[in-house]
Amino acid sequence: MDHITRRACATCALALAALTLTAPATADDEAPPKTARPDYLSFMRGAVPLDVRGPGAALGAGLERAVQLIDGEPGLFSLYRKFATDETWVELVYALPAPTTFDRFAVPEVHETPSPTQSFIREVTVQGSATSATEGLQTLASGTLAVHAARGEVSELKVQARVPVRYVVVRLSGAIDPSAKFHEMTELIGNGTQAPMADVDHFTGAWQPPGGVIRLTQRGPAVTGCLDNGRKTLSGTVTGALLQATFKDNRSSVQGALIASLSPTGELWALRSDNGAPFRVYRGERTKKPSPPCAKPATPPLGCGATVHGLQFRFDSAELLPASKPILDQVYEALRAERKARILIEGHSSREGSADYNQALSERRAAAVVAALVARGIPKARLASAGRGETQPLTRGQTEADRAINRRVEIECTGPAAK
């Protein structure tokens, strides 16, 4: 299973930072970081790989490579494990969580590795279908790539059709240097519009990835469970098609993080980080295989002691978006039954922008969560807020998965029972 390693991220890969709870915060004397349009051809937006086909599949362009193409990081990766020729091509097939109309496709950071055996992919064609990964396909965009003159540039593909699709097929072929034996790629960005969708409710069941069974139970936006045959206890939240969760080893203090989607056939596709290590691809099919039961969670879902992901705000604002309502409602239901006197809402950010920027907005957004809970009926005197900015990351990488998992709220309850 491949470790997803990437080089330094260009500014164009910050597409999701604008929407989540502890996205970068702005101090009054600082401009916010440049935002970007949502990238709907992204694992972090619920796109999942279905298949890899063509001659390149036999050369090692597997499903892990399909994830790398849409993981939000424009660093170079080698598409094949074995020697390729200029005639080699591969098709990477994806399913989207909702009908999506693309109006832009782009490839960032087209640069050559200083080696005579390595070269960047030359031809990119994107097809889409509303019904199937094999039928009704039409060309959405295509382009011939050339080496960029400087860092931070992108190559725009020529858009040929703007129609709603649920399946995307990306064909990569040839190399800028036809004699190269190892073909490289970075990222394919897909901007456009996506139909609204309800939060998925099917993260209940068992799956068999390497390392042991993972069992999940979903109630509303909250998910609890365990992984590695019951050795680690998990809790998280679902927003749209994406589960963001943290887990802890039952025998030690080692923690980890998981970001997961489900394919149309029910296969679990995830990125997993253990003890702050870089995220790795983690996937498994549904199973009925017996495994140890999950331990009872030490804290109630979305209540005291919980780590909450998925709250969404307007960009550079403390205004909560309507998509946050299901999570806030469940947080309220858990906390209104809590008898401890003091409830602290802590906001945590990722590391885009400056530390001061992140600190200021994390404070304002934590305060907005407090206001939302007060509006639902929790006495204001029992609530307090604090922003931790980027000072307490769960993971220390700079991938989009790291940024997403570090944007969170933590709920801490202290003091004697309230009267």
Q: How far apart are CA 382 and CA 415, in angstroms?
A: 10
pLDDT at 8 over 60: no
395: in domain: yes
**CATH number for position 152:** 2.60.120.260
- Residue 370: other Cβ atoms inside 10 A: 20
Q: Which structure tokens are listed for 261?
A: 């989607």
SS3 at position 328: helix
Burial of 343 (0-12, 13-18, 19+ CB in 10 A): buried
Helix 355-376 to helix 325-336 angle, to the nearest 10 degrees? 60
The candidate with the shortest Cα–Cα distance to 41, out of 68, 17, 5, 79, is 68
The pLDDT value recorded for residue 24 is 31
SS3 at position 419: coil
Burial of 9 (0-12, 13-18, 19+ CB in 10 A): buried
What value does the mean pLDDT take over residues 24-37? 44
Residues 110 and 246 in one domain: no
The candidate with the shortest Cα–Cα distance to 38, out of 114, 128, 120, 100, is 100
Q: What is the span of the domain harbouring residue 405?
A: 307-417
Q: Quickly state the pLDDT bin for 298 (edges 50, 70, 90).
A: low
- The total number of structural domains in the chain stands at 3
CB 120 within 8 A of CB 147: yes
What stretch of H or E contains 330? helix 325-336
Cα–Cα separations (whole angstroms), residue 283 to 39, 102, 212, 291, 296: 22, 27, 11, 17, 24
Residues 153 and 237 in one domain: no
Residues 68 and 182 in one domain: yes
pLDDT at 240 over 50: yes
Whole-structure pTM value: 0.83
Look up residue 20 and give its DSSP letter.
Answer: B
DSSP per-residue letters across 399-411: SHHHHHHHSEEEE
The pLDDT value recorded for residue 296 is 79
Which of 156, 187, 218 is the C-terminal boundary of a domain?
Answer: 187
Residues 214 and 257 in one domain: yes
- Residue 96: other Cβ atoms inside 10 A: 26
pLDDT digits (tens, 9 = 90+) for 302-331: 999 999 999 988 877 889 999 899 999 999
Cα–Cα separations (whole angstroms), residue 271 to 68, 176, 180, 258, 353: 11, 31, 31, 6, 24
CB 413 within 8 A of CB 305: yes
Q: Quickly state the pLDDT bin for 78 (edges 50, 70, 90).
A: very high
Better-scored residue on pLDDT, 115 or 8? 115
The pLDDT value recorded for residue 22 is 36
Q: How far apart are CA 235 and CA 223, in angstroms?
A: 6
pLDDT at 13 over 50: no
Residues 178 and 84 in one domain: yes
Residues 386 and 332 in one domain: yes
The candidate with the shortest Cα–Cα distance to 189, out of 143, 239, 225, 146, is 143
SS3 at position 177: coil
The pLDDT value recorded for residue 324 is 93
Residues 49 and 181 in one domain: yes
- Amino acid letter at 202? H
The pLDDT value recorded for residue 266 is 93
Which residues have a Cβ under 8 Å from the Cβ of 293 and sit 6 or more positions away? 215, 230
Which of 136, 153, 187 is the C-terminal boundary of a domain?
Answer: 187
Question: What pairs with residue 258 in β-bridges?
Answer: 245, 272
CB 135 within 8 A of CB 56: no
29: in domain: no
Better-scored residue on pLDDT, 4 or 221? 221
User: Sign of torsion, CA 187 188 194 199?
Assistant: negative
What value does the mean pLDDT take over residues 75-82? 95
Helices (H), 8-152: 63-69
Q: What is the mean pLDDT of the chain?
A: 88
CB 251 within 8 A of CB 231: yes
15: in domain: no
Q: Quickly state the pLDDT bin for 10 (edges 50, 70, 90).
A: very low
The candidate with the shortest Cα–Cα distance to 411, out of 337, 312, 305, 328, is 305
Residues 328 and 405 in one domain: yes
Q: How far apart are CA 96 and CA 169, in angstroms?
A: 11
68: in domain: yes
**CATH number for position 268:** 2.40.128.120
Which of 252, 286, 320 is the C-terminal boundary of a domain?
Answer: 286
Which residues have a Cβ under 8 Å from the Cβ of 242 and sit 6 or more positions away? 44, 45, 46, 259, 260, 261, 310
Residues 61 and 90 in one domain: yes
pLDDT digits (tens, 9 = 90+) for 368-412: 999 999 999 999 999 999 999 999 999 988 888 998 999 999 999
296: in domain: no
32: in domain: no
Helices (H), 223-294: none
What value does the mean pLDDT take over residues 28-37? 50
The pLDDT value recorded for residue 291 is 82
Residues 264 and 332 in one domain: no
Which residues have a Cβ under 8 Å from the Cβ of 265 and sit 6 or more positions away? none
361: in domain: yes
Q: How far apart are CA 69 and CA 285, in angstroms?
A: 22
Could you tell me the maximum CA-CA distance found in the chain, to the nearest angstrom? 77
What value does the mean pLDDT take over residues 224-249? 94
**CATH number for position 317:** 3.30.1330.60
33: in domain: no
Residues 317 and 396 in one domain: yes
pLDDT at 5 over 80: no
The pLDDT value recorded for residue 290 is 83
pLDDT at 27 over 90: no
**Range of weakest confidence among 111-125, 127-141, 234-248, 307-321:** 307-321
Tokens 């080089």, located at residue: 7
Residues 51 and 162 in one domain: yes
Cα–Cα separations (whole angstroms), residue 220 to 15, 272, 328: 27, 23, 11
